[in-house]
Chains A and B, each alone.
Chain A
Amino acid sequence: MDTQTAEKTTELWPLAVYAGLVAATVLAIVTISYLLGERHRERATGLPYESGIVPTGTARRPLPVNFYLVAALFVIFDVEAVFLLVWAGAFRQAGWAGYVEIVVFAGVMGAGLFYLWRVGALKVIGGRGEHESGDTDEQ
């Protein structure tokens, strides 16, 4: 018991050293670039570089919220793919029980996709689907 605890406490110092190294590295990078970096202020210094073309307009435009829905959708089904691939790797070992489980899992995901399609979440442009027609947000 005692040796075990002693072992655990001694194991902590590499972590402290590591944290110190990380801080030192970050500090060094910032300091060196501050010392060596150029400091000049021309007309186009602050402009974003877009392959030599003068930028037009602002990058901060309102995006349709549906974009975020699609992003969320992507995450959901991306994670589904992760599980499917893991199961595929253990296809034979998992057997019929594993098959039933993955079918249930994919079925629930499919039901979710069906729902999202019907409420119009898949329409990136043009707002809401026919199902969502007419109310709530405008009030």
Chain B
Amino acid sequence: MKNIFLFTAVSLLLIGCGGGGGSSTSNSTYEGPMSLETQYTMFPGDSVNKDSEKTSLKITHVDGQVESNIELVEGTATITRKP
């Protein structure tokens, strides 16, 4: 009985820790229109095209890595992955 209680408590704790934070998770395979306040990971060959005249991105790149993270700052844009 004691073990069941402990197992349940630990399970609940792990489930609680695992949830949330979805909007800030990098998306490395998503293809399509970008959403604001969402990070996407871009690899060499991937591209972004704007769907509205005034569109800007925030791009973060770490030295030595091939990928970059992007975030839509304003406007609308679509991600296309390398074929």
Asked if chains A and B come from one complex, the reply is: no
Residues of B in contact with A (beta carbons under 8 Å apart):
none
Q: Which A residues lie at the B interface, using CB under 8 A?
A: none
